[in-house]
């Protein structure tokens, strides 16, 4: 079996990184394994914890990532690895024990350049569980294969990814000017170069979402900004689902404006009645959110289900707001402060 190199960027992940490392080292895979961890400038003890875990464990090596950016961290880690298969892992994720063996077998069976599977979100608190429910719902993050039960086959992107090294090097590794959405953009270049990105539903990864509302909003706002940046750079190559949240935000803004004009009497009569059509989209959206909250995953306690009623719009509105800002002015130096703030 070919040797496998795992690469993991970390920044302020003291509550998650030990479990993530353990699931990598415990992989039921007969080939050689190494784990290269790119250490960002953490302030919560993550660096010290990783260094303690690496001490006396020859399979773990570390590299410094002073920029804190994920694409830079991944490239630093990849360049420090040695084996022909590169597996991206995340400090907020945990691999099933057979993940690597299944992924390498799928690479060989399909001839793909990159293989990914299902991201299954979980939560340890009521809020985090509600976020996880939104991640796992088709109504939450749209139609990407790795968020649901799609059939095996070619895909536009892959969650995390198990790469052939030659495919990564041919594509030029991750674009370090893209701070969010870097995986989607890399997979686009892989596909443009003739490689196949493959989805295998037998590959499952546990993902632990952000733990509180401010972190969640900051994460999704930054993701929306960078998705808009990708739209600006790669026109006409982005899936339709990326435009749904910004359209929701525009309809909400339009509803507020029309409502003010109607209340002040500036907009009235037949024209005011016609303008009321702007309320239809927000009303329909919140009816659907309420329906999803009350009917899906009914085994959840009521507290979890009502938190979902807050979490889902927060994700969509913050993502859509970030997207609109990114379309107007580009991403600039926007960063995901959910990784650095409290």
Same domain, 56 and 139: yes
Note whether residue 82 is domain-resident: yes
Same domain, 84 and 202: yes
Note whether residue 223 is domain-resident: no
Question: When comparing pLDDT for 276 and 239, which is higher?
Answer: 276
pLDDT for 298: 55
Same domain, 239 and 319: yes
pLDDT for 197: 96
What residue numbers bound the domain in which 62 lies? Answer: 4-209
Going 56 to 60 to 63 to 65, the CA torsion angle's sign is negative
Q: Which segment of 143-152, 178-187, 328-337 scores lowest on mean pLDDT?
A: 143-152
Same domain, 189 and 311: no
Domain finish residue from 209, 242, 273? 209
Does the pLDDT of residue 145 top 90, yes or no?
no
Same domain, 160 and 281: no
Same domain, 169 and 304: no
Answer for the pair 54, 60: CB distance below 8 angstroms, yes or no: yes
Q: Which segment of 111-115, 146-150, 278-282 scores lowest on mean pLDDT?
A: 146-150
Going 132 to 190 to 241 to 326, the CA torsion angle's sign is positive
Same domain, 237 and 195: no
Question: When comparing pLDDT for 174 and 299, which is higher?
Answer: 174
pLDDT for 24: 96
Q: How many C-beta atoms lie closer than 10 Å to residue 20's C-beta?
A: 23
Decide: pTM greater than 0.75.
yes
Same domain, 117 and 9: yes
pLDDT for 137: 82
Note whether residue 72 is domain-resident: yes
Domain finish residue from 143, 178, 209? 209
pLDDT for 306: 81
Across the chain, what does the average pLDDT equal? 90
User: How many domains does the chain divide into?
Assistant: 2
pLDDT for 194: 94
pLDDT for 196: 95
Same domain, 204 and 247: no
The arithmetic mean of pLDDT across residues 66-91, rounded, is: 95
Same domain, 97 and 131: yes
CATH number of the domain at 78, please: 3.90.550.10
Phi, psi of 262 (to 5 degrees): -75, -40
Q: Report residue 141's pLDDT band, with 50, 70 and 90 as the boundaries.
A: confident
The arithmetic mean of pLDDT across residues 263-286, rounded, is: 89
Does the pLDDT of residue 342 top 60, yes or no?
no
Note whether residue 215 is domain-resident: no
Note whether residue 276 is domain-resident: yes
Note whether residue 224 is domain-resident: no
Closest CA to 53 of 12, 106, 17: 17
Q: Report residue 106's pLDDT band, with 50, 70 and 90 as the boundaries.
A: very high
pLDDT for 9: 96
Same domain, 184 and 239: no
Domain finish residue from 209, 240, 268? 209
Same domain, 201 and 234: no
The arithmetic mean of pLDDT across residues 231-236, rounded, is: 86
The arithmetic mean of pLDDT across residues 75-94, rounded, is: 95
Q: What is the pLDDT of residues 181-219, one digit of tens each?
A: 899 999 999 999 999 999 999 999 999 999 899 999 999
């Amino acid at each position: 079996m070919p040797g496998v190199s795992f690469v993991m960027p970390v920044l302020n992940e003291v509550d998650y990184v030990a479990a993530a490392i353990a699931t990598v080292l415990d992989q039921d895979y007969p080939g050689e394994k190494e784990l290269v961890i790119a250490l960002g400038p953490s302030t919560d003890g993550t660096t010290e914890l990783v260094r303690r875990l690496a001490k006396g464990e020859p399979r773990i090596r570390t590299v410094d990532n002073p920029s804190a950016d994920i694409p830079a961290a991944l490239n630093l880690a990849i360049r420090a690895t040695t084996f022909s298969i590169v597996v991206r892992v995340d400090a907020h994720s945990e691999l099933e024990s057979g993940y690597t063996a299944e992924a390498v077998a799928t690479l060989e069976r399909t001839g793909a350049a990159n293989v990914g599977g299902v991201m299954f979100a979980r939560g340890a608190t009521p809020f985090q569980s509600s976020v996880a429910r939104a991640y796992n719902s088709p109504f939450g993050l749209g139609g990407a294969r790795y968020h649901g039960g799609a059939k095996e086959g070619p895909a536009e992107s892959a969650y995390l990814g198990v790469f052939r090294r030659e495919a990564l090097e041919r594509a030029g590794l991750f674009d370090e000017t893209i701070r969010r959405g870097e995986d989607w953009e890399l997979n686009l270049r892989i596909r443009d170069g003739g490689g196949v990105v493959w989805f295998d539903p037998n590959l499952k990864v546990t993902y632990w979402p952000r733990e509180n509302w401010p972190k969640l909003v900051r994460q999704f706002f930054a993701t929306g900004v960078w998705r808009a940046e990708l739209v600006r750079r790669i026109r006409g190559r982005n899936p339709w689902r990326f435009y749904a949240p910004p359209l929701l935000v525009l309809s909400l803004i339009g509803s507020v404006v029309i409502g003010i004009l109607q209340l002040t009497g500036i907009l009235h009569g037949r024209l005011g009645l016609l303008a009321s059509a702007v309320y239809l989209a927000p009303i329909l959206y919140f009816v659907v959110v309420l329906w999803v909250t009350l009917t899906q995953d009914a085994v959840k306690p009521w507290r979890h289900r009502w938190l979902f009623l807050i979490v889902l719009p927060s994700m969509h509105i913050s993502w859509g707001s970030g997207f609109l800002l990114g379309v107007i002015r580009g991403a600039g130096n926007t960063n995901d402060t959910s990784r650095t703030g409290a």
